[in-house]
């Protein structure tokens, strides 16, 4: 299974629009998600390459506009980039696997920044991008153990284990996502397994939380915040052309975690006192309100 996937990715490494894999294992098979993935775009500005290291190893490089974003030095078993899927010019999801450590990693890409969403034991997998904040991941048995995991991944409100099970059975879970689905009116995902005795359907039913609905229209291209993600400090280019302004850092529930009043001009702001996570930076002045997302690592 994995060899077949890697071969196709080496041929077309930019965007792979695969809804689900049919993968035989020692215990069961999967048909993947029944719903068609929406909102995937071609984005040739991002691409990866896999290459040989020595006689047995592999390594990969990830690029944006020819600039190296990530490099792996390789391993005896082989480290390889597997997938890139983008939903717009700057936002996508990258999957790679590490041979020596036997893991697969999912990262979210925003411009030149990468946010690690999840790592899991190197089993076969499917994932479905619901919206720009939410991915549902199903990792399923390889040749070692009949163990299924269904996880919701998000760079806003973190990972959530929806279901893990030793043998697949019909079941339904309920979840809440932030934002609106890329597939219009999508409210449910159906994932189908073929167990040794029957066909099983796992349902994920979700509702949309509109907490973030008014953020994107407020985005203002003139606001420059860097570095992002940040560790201790962020720098802000004067967003109000010399006028006084204030800053507020809100968590995903809209709770103010830090506020600074009466700023003016370019600023360097300490964020090391904020817990790691994703925040909404609100810049306010007379008659103006601008919002952008800041990641504290």
Domain final position from 161, 196, 212: 212
Residues 206 and 268 grouped into a single domain: no
Domain check: are 65 and 83 in the same one? yes
Residue 8's pLDDT band, with cuts at 50, 70 and 90, is very low
**pLDDT at position 282 over 90:** no
Indicate if the alpha-carbon torsion angle 254, 259, 263, 266 is positive or negative.
negative
In the predicted structure, residue 27 carries a pLDDT above the cut 50 = no
Looking at residue 211, what is its pLDDT?
A: 55
Name beta bridge partners: 173.
204
Q: What is the pLDDT of residue 4?
A: 34
- Same domain for 241 and 267? yes
- Using one digit for the tens of pLDDT, what is the confidence trace for 46-101? 999 988 877 767 788 899 999 898 877 655 456 788 999 999 988 899 998 876 55
Q: Which of 212, 239, 260 is the last residue of a domain?
A: 212
Q: How high is the mean pLDDT of the chain?
A: 77
Beta-carbon contacts of 86 under 8 Å, excluding residues fewer than 6 positions away, are 15, 40, 41, 42, 43, 46, 92, 93, 109
Which of 171, 191, 212 is a domain's end point?
212
- Domain span including residue 51: 2-212
Query: Alpha helices of the chain — where are they, by DSSP H?
Result: 2-11
Tokens in use for 214? 């008014």
For residue 47, what pLDDT is reported?
93
pLDDT digit string, tens, across residues 187-235: 999 998 776 677 888 899 998 876 554 444 334 445 678 887 888 998 8
Judge if 113 and 8 occupy the same domain. yes
In terms of C-beta density within 10 A (0-12 exposed, 13-18 middle, 19 or more buried), how is residue 171 classed?
middle
* Same domain membership, residue 274 and residue 133: no
Same domain, 128 and 186: yes
One domain for residues 39 and 183: yes
150 and 8 within one domain: yes
**Among the listed ranges 14-18, 23-27, 156-160, which one has the minimum average pLDDT value?**
14-18
Domain count, the chain: 2
Same-domain check for residues 156 and 201 = yes
Chain segment 161-172, per-residue pLDDT in tens: 888 876 667 889
Distance CA 174, CA 247 (A): 36
Looking at the structure, tell me whether residues 170 and 227 fall in a common domain: no
Residue owning tokens 């979210």: 108
Q: Both 141 and 273 in a single domain? A: no
CA–CA distances in Å: residue 55 to residues 5, 10, 76: 21, 19, 8
The CATH code of the domain that includes 276 is: 2.60.40.3080
Whether 281 and 294 have beta carbons less than 8 Å apart is answered as yes
Identify whether residues 37 and 119 lie together within a single domain: yes
Q: Which residue has the higher pLDDT, 39 or 23?
A: 39
């Amino acid at each position: 299974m994995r060899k077949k996937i890697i071969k196709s990715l080496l041929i077309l490494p930019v965007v792979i629009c695969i809804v689900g894999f049919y993968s035989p294992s020692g215990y069961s098979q999967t048909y993947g998600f029944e719903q068609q993935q929406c909102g995937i775009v071609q984005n040739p500005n991002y691409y990866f390459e896999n290459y040989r290291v020595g006689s047995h190893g592999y390594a990969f490089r990830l690029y944006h506009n020819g600039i190296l974003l990530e490099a792996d030095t390789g391993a005896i078993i082989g480290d390889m980039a597997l997938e890139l899927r983008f939903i717009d010019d700057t936002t996508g999801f990258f999957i790679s696997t590490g041979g020596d450590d036997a893991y697969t990693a999912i990262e979210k890409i925003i411009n030149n920044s990468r946010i690690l969403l999840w790592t899991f034991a190197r089993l076969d997998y499917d994932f479905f991008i619901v919206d720009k904040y939410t991915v549902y991941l199903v990792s399923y048995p390889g040749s070692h153990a009949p163990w299924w995991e269904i996880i919701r991944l998000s760079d806003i409100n973190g990972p959530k284990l929806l279901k893990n099970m030793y043998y697949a059975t019909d079941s339904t879970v309920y979840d809440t996502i932030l934002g609106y689905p890329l597939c219009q009116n999508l409210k449910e995902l159906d994932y189908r397994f073929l167990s040794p005795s029957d066909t099983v359907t796992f349902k994920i039913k979700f509702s949309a939380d509109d907490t973030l609905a008014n953020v994107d229209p407020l985005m203002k291209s003139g606001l420059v915040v860097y570095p992002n993600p940040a560790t201790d400090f962020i720098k802000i280019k004067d967003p109000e052309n010399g006028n006084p302004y204030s800053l507020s850092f809100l968590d995903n529930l809209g709770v103010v975690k830090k506020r600074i009043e009466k700023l003016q001009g370019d600023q360097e702001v300490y964020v090391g006192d904020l817990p790691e996570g994703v925040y909404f930076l609100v810049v306010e002045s007379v008659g103006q309100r601008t919002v952008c997302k800041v990641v504290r690592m």
